[in-house]
Each structure stands twice: as structure tokens, then as C-alpha cells.
Structure 1
Amino acid sequence: MLAPHPNAAAAASNAEVIAHRRTLWRWHFYAGLFVMPLLIVLAITGTLYCFQPQIEPLLYRDRMVVADTHGPRLSRDILLAKAAASEPPGAVPALAQIETDRTRSAEFVFRLPSGESESVYVNPYDGAVLGTLSVEHRLMKQVRNLHRGLMLGKTGELLMELAGCWTLVMIGTGVALWWPSRSNARKGGVWLPRLSLQGRAWWRDLHAVGGVWLAIGALFFVLSGLPWSGSWGKQFKALATTASLGYPKGAWGEARVHSTAPATARNEHDMHAMHGMEMKMDDLPLHQTPWAVGATTVPDSANAAASAARMPIDDVVALAARNGIEAGYGIALPSKPTGVYTVSYFPADPRAERTLHIDQYSGRVLSDIGYASYGGVAKVISYGTSLHMGRYFGLANQIVCSAISLGLAALAVTGFVMWMKRRPARELGAPARPVRRAPMRAWRGSLTLLGVIFPLMGATMLAVWCFDRLAFGARRAAA
């Protein structure tokens, strides 16, 4: 039997390399076509939201900032009463935001008869009502809604979740396409773009080199953001809880809490559970809630006599301070006779995260959940969230996150320019399919694994594969 000619073997190897590269390029193209427009939205909204602590006091200075008179401040219950007097009949107080900065106004959130919520700002020194802001329509809330779901509700959340998943494909294929061979490494354009090039080659170098530098940041953004997504994130949270790796399993003893519920409260809690009426932390009108406790059950206060007085808010603040919670947190106010005060502390350092449920009459701490109570997965996600939002390292963290976000937006622009420069008129311009099918077992295995981990993404990958076969199956590039 004759041995194959060396030239034939080399040609076969070269054809396999071309098939391998074209397959990667084709998937990179499809991923980019879907992801890039959404990536620009994510980058711009993420950058804006990252600077929320600086933007809002400037934007709403007339309501949020007051002059420090160096005098005593009115009690929070008096301030709440003044805020309530300015609201329409039927408005229900839902939240007190606690700040110790003497130049910040007191903020209270009310549920309006229309179903929406409104923040009322009060001067803590003289009790003057400074103004209101719609919780749903304030700028940063709109920015956050755009970032999470394009302001399209559940449909938008699913689209953004898919964008995150497909970004993983885009990162993987992009790095594989960039990966230098020995000959390419000598030509340059690996770690620094060759600015002497012209035309599409210049844009390609800028896109490829920039993409590699930003790949780790993009991967981090995706992996730290997906646990907050509306579909997969909820399922992941439930799975982590089942494996005792997520949030504490319950409010009465299954978690490592500091106290147990009184018998009367426990009986009422069981009755609510039987009728599917349990309130979760995510249901409370808090501005922000730690990921780890979002699905935990809110307990009830013990039954009290009709004449029992509710604990003053200032006493709740003092109790929180004794438990190490000083400022920058929200107190969800009791919404029913058996409701509780819920203190939710979501600081920059996740190790200080804390959730307290306090009996509204006796001041007893019914549940105390801190970082030490979290499972391993929840602890990692808490750190990821703080870094993702630009909070952990302060301004430096904000600048790094913004640079990565805006860099990814620039990649979307360079990718679009490259597409326009190579796309034939009135055609999609997808890279041609190779004549031969490259084995690429590791690549196919990785896609399959992603499809299993992210079922929604798996379904769309199958749809893209079918579309590619049906629409372009007969059109292949010459090897």
C-alpha cells in the first residue's frame, strides 16, 4: 500500500485548519450579531448605574441635600408623620432610608393608591418637606430597568439573559480566533494593534487585540451578573439553596439565626405557608437586597394586644447600631399588625451584609442573617456583585468597571464596522461555511455543556444551528 504524498497530507491538514477557523468565525459572527447591540446598552447603562452614588445627589440636590445646621435632628417618627401629611389619602408608609450624613435629607417611601411608590424627602432639622420622586420613574431606576430587561418586563429580562450567555460564546470564539500561531506572533498584532495598517485590517487588529485585553473583564461581568437574571438566576438560586450553598433555607432555625420565633408567631407563619401567603425578602420595598437572602421568608411579629404601641423607628435604628449596622441601609416598615421591621444592610464590603427582622412591638430580633450564614456559592456571588457594581474598592472600582464596560461598547462598534466593510450588498455577510466538517470535539462538547447549564441558551443555539443549515446549507466556501 502506497503512503500518502506529503503534499496531499499537508493540503488535508491545511483544509482542516481552515475548516476549524471558519467554524469558529461563523459562531463568533452569529454571537456578535445578537450580542453587540445589547452589549452597547449594557455598557452604557452599567457605567451610569455604577456612578449612582455620585449622580443622584447632583441630579436631585434640591431634595437629597440639606445644609447642616449643627443642631438636633427631629425624631424619624415625627419626620415620617410630616412626610405622610404631604401624601394623598390612602398612601401607606413602606420604607425608611437611614443615613447618618448630616447633609442628607430623610427619605421615606410610600405606596400610593395607584400601586406605584414615591419617595418623600424631609429636612431632618426643621421638618420641611423638600419634594418627592417616583421610585419607578427616577432616572437610576430607569437605567437599572434598561440594564436588566430593556424596560420590556419578562421578555426583556430573557433577552438580556440570553445576551449574557451568548457573550460566553463570543468570548470563547474570539479568543480562539485571536490565538496566535508561531508565524502570526512574529508579524505582530497579538498584544498591541498594528496602527500602521489600513482599512479593514486596521479595524480587525483593533477589535482582536482589544477583545483579548477585555476578555477577562467581560467574562467576570457575565458570570457575576447572571445570578441576578430573572429566569436562570432564580433557578440557580433554588439549586444553590437545595445544596446548602446559597441563601439560608428559612427564617426559623434552618438557617444559623440568632433567635427562634415565639410560638404564636410560628403558628401564624405556618398558617400563611399553608395558604401560600408567605412574604419573601424580594417582595419588600427595599432599594437593594443582598442576593443571598432575596428568597428567604419574612417572619411575623407575635400577636399583641390592641393597645400595644409600635416600636419607634429611632429605637429600631438604635437596635441596628448595637448590632453593628450604622448607616446606608433601609428599614422596611410593618405593613400589617403582625408585620415586622426589616433592616436590610447591603454595604460595599459583602462581609458586612446583614438582615434583621425585628418584632414591631417588643423589639425582639426574630432573625439575624449575616454573611457568615451564607453558603459558599452565595459568599462568592456577594463579592462578585460588589465588584460588578463598582462598590468594593470605591472610586477605583467604579473607574475599572467603567473602562471595561465602555471598552466592550467600543468592541461592538469595531465589530460592526468590520461587518459593514466585508458585507456584500443585500446579504447577511456571514462567514462562508467550510467544505469539510472540522472534528472540533472539544468545541462541540463545550457548547453542549453551556446548553445544559443554560437551557434557554441551548434552545437558541439549536435554533441558530437549524437556521444555518436550512438557509446556508448549500453554500460552502472552497477549501
Structure 2
Amino acid sequence: MQTSLRQAPLADATTDTTSVASRNYRILWRWHFYAGLFVMPFLMVLAITGSIYVFKPQIERALYGDKLFVSASSQPRLGYDRLLAIATSTLPPDAVATSLSVSQDPSRSTEAVFRLSSGDSESVYLNPYSGQVLGTLSVEHRLMKQVRQIHRDLLLGRWGGWLMELAACWTLIMIGTGIALWWPRKQFSVWGSLLPRLNLRGRALWRELHLVAGIWVSIGALFFITSGLPWSSFWGKNFQAVVTWAGSAQPKSTASSEHKHDDHGAHAQHDAMASMTMPKKMLDLPLAEVPWAVGATTVPQSQVTPQQRLSVDRVVAIAASNGLHTYQLALPNKTSDVFTAAYAPGAGEFVRSDLERQRTLHIDQYSGKIMKDMRFADYNPVSKLVTLGVALHMGEYFGFANQLLCASVSLALLGMALSGFVMWWMRRPQRALGAPKRVLQPPPSIRRWKGYMALLGILFPLMGASMIVVWLGDTLFFRKRA
């Protein structure tokens, strides 16, 4: 075991007489090596799955076009209640309807989602003009859903999500130390700094390609990491909660004008009920896409009265009268639930996201009151910035060009991971890890970098804990292996 972990030959254990610049370089290289060693396999997964998922609209159209699209017709559409009844008749009696797609697009089918007794969900697709059932698809097991889950948590749940978050955070260290290693310490030259010298051979050529490509792709990589972290399992969830608590997603007006007179009493009742039970959050609703800015907001509750629940067609009419025409509609399954109509980028309606149309509407299932209306204009600057970042990250903001740009950056990151592996493989000693030399006498100037890393560790607690583990392991295990 000791032999397999032996480092590359190090400097003398008692003295380190190399220059300050050389020692700084070796310290940064060592952290870059450890970051790359951990990040590389996860970065490859992120790059491959991200490159695939960014083309979700085109892939799903090719795979499921016969279910997602219909021939546009001038004849009137069937009512949503009737369509839901038809979809219900195709599934077992214990299937529960959870959501319905509502669309203005004359070529889109209607999707009704049901929760089965097994706990899985099934989508039923119908022709909105004839009521013909076009087919069914599993929500959890369709290809792009699996690709997205691998991208987010490796299909391992919470622990997988934490691992992917750690990999993303350590990529920040890899980017920072990589830029420092690239930074010219002598006279600047375009060749070797911004353009590779292709006359080199062997490991020198691989190193040149890795350095030059790395500096070009670093901006895109930094954007990908920072725009993806708000969706991460640990940091992202807590960041979202803090932003929501700070009032980022609170609407300017929470009730329609005709119901403002009794809004205060309704909310007092909802708050009292929420204090007795765990309040439901937007992310708990059975919706495929939820706007990030409202994901941690509390879902209001319907006022339980002897009234009959409104029909879906009536709710759709209420949403339309309030200017919302294309969305996913979460259906109430308890007496205190509300209808929730939500439109978010990525809902499959458009490749290009119109962020200004992002909106969430909560409607009382009995009276039809607008309990809460949250629009993009109501978000604070942080939530608007995250929303824009998410749309760009997923290739949804400026159409096909955005998709190509995202895929190009992802594939470039894959190339960086592979070239780093090739460089390590070519330089590693036999039966040894091949870590860069450990500096036993760090120069005072390295304190600035320690401060940067400490700040990152505080900002991202999971990474901070892992950094302590790496530092302790490096210090204690290799102390006598000089």
C-alpha cells in the first residue's frame, strides 16, 4: 500500500533552497494535481451528460415526436376535464392525476401525469382535438430524465448530489491554480501562452495544449460551475432558502384586485395552518420544471369550505383571464391544496427562453381566488441573475447557438480532463502516485493563496471540510516521505 502511494522524488526533508517562485509553483501544482485527481472522473461525467442534455428539445422530438406533437387543426379543442378523464381511463383505477400541460401551441399534444401505486409517475399524451391517446411514457425512466439525474447526482440520490457538488467546487480550485500555473513568469509570448507551439513533441506538447486550451476554456468553465451550483444538493438548497428568506421571490401583489379585501384574513388562516404542519414548498409539487426563484417559497393553502372543487376548465379560464396561457398545472389531491400554474424555461415549449414570461400562479381550488402571483419582475437582482444563468447554462436563452456554445464548452472540459490524465500517465513513476514535490518550507507569499482557499472553504462548507481532510492527509501521511 505504501509503495502504491509513493510520491515522486522530493526535495531534502530538512531544507528547501529552491527559489520562492519555484516553491510557489510547486505548491500550486500540488493542489492542482489533487483537485484534478478528484475532479477528473466527475468532470468527464458532467461534460458528457451536459453535452447530451443541452439538446433535450431536439432529442425528445426525435424519440417521442409522435407523442409530443400533433397536426395543427382549426377545429376546437376538447376541454381539459374531458381530456383528463380519457387519460384516467387508460391507467389502473388507483392512479392519481398530479399535473396537466396547458399550451397555446396548436401543434402540441396534451400531457397528463399520474402517480402510480408503485410510486413512479406515468405521462399520458393525448391529441387535444380528438382525444386520441397517443401513448404513454415513464416520467422517471425516459432517457433525458436519466441523463439529467446522472448529471446531478449519478443516480445515487443525496450522496451522489454531494459528490457532484464537491467535484464542482474543486473545479474552482483547479481553475484558479491552473490560471496561476499558466501565468507567464517571464516575458509574455503569444506562442505558448495563447497559442500552442505545435512543433513540440511528447509530454511537452500535451502540456502546452493543456495550458493553452485551459486558459481559453476557463471562463466558460467558471460560468458553468457558478451557474450550476444554485441547483446543487447542499450549497444550492441552502443558498436558495437564504435568498427566498431575504424576500427575493416575494410578489408585489399577492392577490387579484377583486379579492384584496379578504386577502389578509386568508393569509392569517394559512399561516396558522402552516405553523401546525410542515408547509409545502414549490419544489415539492409534481412539476417537471419549477422556476429557481420560487422553488423554496411556501405554497399557500386553499380555504376549506363546503364548496365543490373547481373544474380544470374553470381554472384554465381563470389563469387565461390573468394573462397565463402556457404552463404546467399541478392538480390538488388534498382538501387544502391549491391549483398551481407554473411556466419556467425548460418546460419543453420553447428552445429560446423568454424570461419575462416566467410566472407562478396559485389558485384556490374552491373559490378560484388568486392566492399568490409570482412573476419575473418581482424577483430581486440575485434571483434574476440566477435565472438568467440557469437559462444560459441549459442552452435555452438564445436558441440553437446557445446550445452549441454550451456543448462546445462541455466537450472542451472533457478534453481538458483527458489531456490531464495523459500528462499524468506519461510522467508518473512506476508503482507511484506521481504527485508533484511537496514543499517543506512554504514561502510567506503563499499565504495569499491560503487566504483565497480558506475563503472558498467558508463559502462552500462541503469543500471546506474536504480541503481540511486533504491537507491533513498530505501533511501527516507524507511528512516522512521526503
Question: TM-score scaled by structure 2?
Answer: 0.90
* Alignment-mate amino acid for residue 20 of structure 1: N
> What letter corresponds to residue 458 of structure 2 in structure 1?
V
Give the Å deviation of 1:351.
2.8
Instruction: Work out the CA distance in 2 between the residues paired with 1:292 and 1:452.
Output: 24
Q: Does the alignment pair 1:461 with 2:467?
A: yes
**SS of 1:330's equivalent?**
strand
Aligned to 2:371, the other structure's residue is in SS state: strand
Greater displacement, 340-349 / 168-177: 340-349
Write the mapping of 1:289-368 to structure 2, written as runs, cut at 5 A.
289-306=290-307, 308=308, 310-327=309-326, 329-347=327-345, 348-368=353-373
**1:222 — aligned with what?**
225
Aligned residues of 1:66 and 1:103 also touching (Cα < 8 A): yes
Q: After TM superposition, give the deviation of residue 49 of structure 1 in Å.
A: 1.5
What is residue 234 of structure 1 aligned with on the other side?
Answer: 237
**Residues 9-408 of structure 1: pairs in structure 2 closer than 5 A:** 15-183=19-187, 185-186=188-189, 188-244=191-247, 246-248=248-250, 256-259=253-256, 262=263, 265-266=266-267, 268-306=269-307, 308=308, 310-327=309-326, 329-347=327-345, 348-408=353-413
Give how far 1:262 is off: 4.8
Letter in 2 for 1:400: L
CA–CA separation in structure 1 for the residues paired with 2:387 and 2:130: 39
The 8 Å contact of residues 359 and 374 in structure 2, kept in 1 or not, is answered as: yes
Amino acid at match of 1:424: P
Deviates more, 1:214-223 or 1:66-75: 66-75
Instruction: Classify the secondary structure of the residue corresponding to 1:119.
Output: strand
Following TM superposition, by how much is the alpha carbon of 1:300 offset from its aligned partner in structure 2, in angstroms?
A: 1.8
> SS of the residue aligned with 1:175?
helix
| Structure 1 unaligned blocks of 5 or more | 1-11
Shift of 1:31: 0.3
2:316 maps to amino acid: V
> Which amino acid is the alignment partner of residue 195 of structure 1?
L
Q: Distance in 1 between matches of 2:356 and 2:77?
A: 31
Give distance in 2, aligned partners of 1:338 and 1:276.
12
Separation in 2, partners of 1:256, 1:198 = 66
Q: Which residue of 2 aligns with 1:5?
A: none
Instruction: Give the C-alpha shift of residue 242 in structure 1.
Output: 3.9
Q: Distance in 2 between matches of 1:187 and 1:332?
A: 56
> Which protein, 1 or 2, shows the higher relative CO under an 8 Å CA cutoff with sep ≥ 6?
2
Letter in 2 for 1:344: A
Instruction: Please say if residues 32 and 174 of structure 2, whose CA atoms lie closer than 8 Å, have aligned partners that are also in contact.
Output: yes
Report the Cα offset of residue 186 of structure 1: 3.6
2:450 corresponding residue in structure 1: 444
Preserved contact between residue 16 and residue 436 of structure 1 (Cα < 8 Å): no
Equivalence for 1:473: 479
Deviation by residue 1:55-99 (Cα, 9 ceiling, x = unmatched)? 112111232222334422211111110000001111111101122
Q: Give the aligned residue type for 1:375.
A: N
TM-score (norm 1): 0.90
Would the aligned equivalents of 1:299 and 1:366 in 2 still touch at CA under 8 Å? yes
- Report how far residue 121 of structure 1 moved: 0.7
Cα–Cα, structure 1 residues 435 and 298, in superposed 2: closer, same or farther, change >3 Å? closer
| Whole-angstrom CA distance in 2 between matches of 1:349 and 1:28 | 39
Residue aligning to 1:3? none
Structure 2 residues without counterparts, runs of 5 or longer: 1-15, 346-352
Aligned-residue offset at 1:29: 0.4
Specify the code of the residue in structure 2 equivalent to 1:287.
Answer: A
Query: How many residues are matched?
Result: 455
Give the Å deviation of 1:13.
Answer: 9.3
- Aligned residue identity for 1:277: M
1:129 & 1:242 partners in 2: Cα distance? 43
Q: Is the 8 A contact 1:19 1:435 kept in 2?
A: no
- Of residues 346-355 and 121-130 in structure 1, the stretch that sits farther from structure 2 once superposed is 346-355
- Tell me if structure 2 keeps the 8 A contact 1:47–1:405: yes
- Residues 78 and 241 (structure 1), Cα distance of their counterparts in 2 relative to 1, 3 Å cut: closer
Q: Report if aligned partners of 1:282, 1:289 keep a CA contact under 8 Å in 2.
A: yes
Asked whether the equivalents of residues 43 and 405 of structure 1 are also in contact (C-alpha less than 8 Å), the reply is: yes
User: How many angstroms does 1:181 deviate by?
Assistant: 2.6
1:26 Cα deviation after fit: 0.3
- 2:395 & 2:153 partners in 1: Cα distance? 20
CA distance in structure 1 between the aligned counterparts of 2:287 and 2:190, rounded to whole angstroms: 56
Cα deviation, residue 258, structure 1: 3.6
CA distance in 2, matches of 1:242, 1:126: 46
Q: Please give the alpha-carbon distance, in whole angstroms, between the structure 2 residues aligned to 1:256 and 1:470.
A: 59
- Residues 385 and 186 of structure 1: is their aligned pair in 2 closer, same or farther, counting only changes over 3 Å? closer
**In 2, Cα distance between equivalents of 1:162 and 1:91:** 38
* Contact kept? 2:358, 2:376, Cα under 8 Å: yes
Which amino acid in structure 2 is aligned with residue 29 of structure 1? F
CA contact (8 A) 2:162 2:233 kept: yes
CA contact (8 A) 1:35 1:163 kept: yes
For residue 6 of structure 1, what is the aligned residue in structure 2?
none
CA deviation profile, 1:289-334 (whole Å, cap 9, x unmatched): 011111111112223325x2x333333333333333332x201011
How far apart, in 2, do the equivalents of 1:334 and 1:182 lie?
A: 67
Q: Give the distance between the partners of 1:188 and 1:275, measured in 2 at CA.
A: 67
Please report how far the alpha carbon of residue 267 of structure 1 lies from its aligned counterpart in structure 2 after TM superposition: 5.7
In the TM superposition, residue 435 of structure 1 has moved relative to its aligned partner by: 4.7
- Alpha carbons of 1:69 and 1:354: their partners in 2 closer, same or farther (altered >3 Å)? closer
Moved more, 400-409 or 264-273: 264-273
Tell me the distance in 2 between the aligned counterparts of 1:142 and 1:97: 21
- Contact 1:299/1:340 (<8 A) preserved: yes
TM-aligned CA deviation for residue 445 of structure 1: 0.3
Q: Structure 2: how far apart are the matches of 1:315 and 1:13?
A: 81
Structure 2 counterpart SS, 1:177: helix
Report deviation, 1:197: 1.0
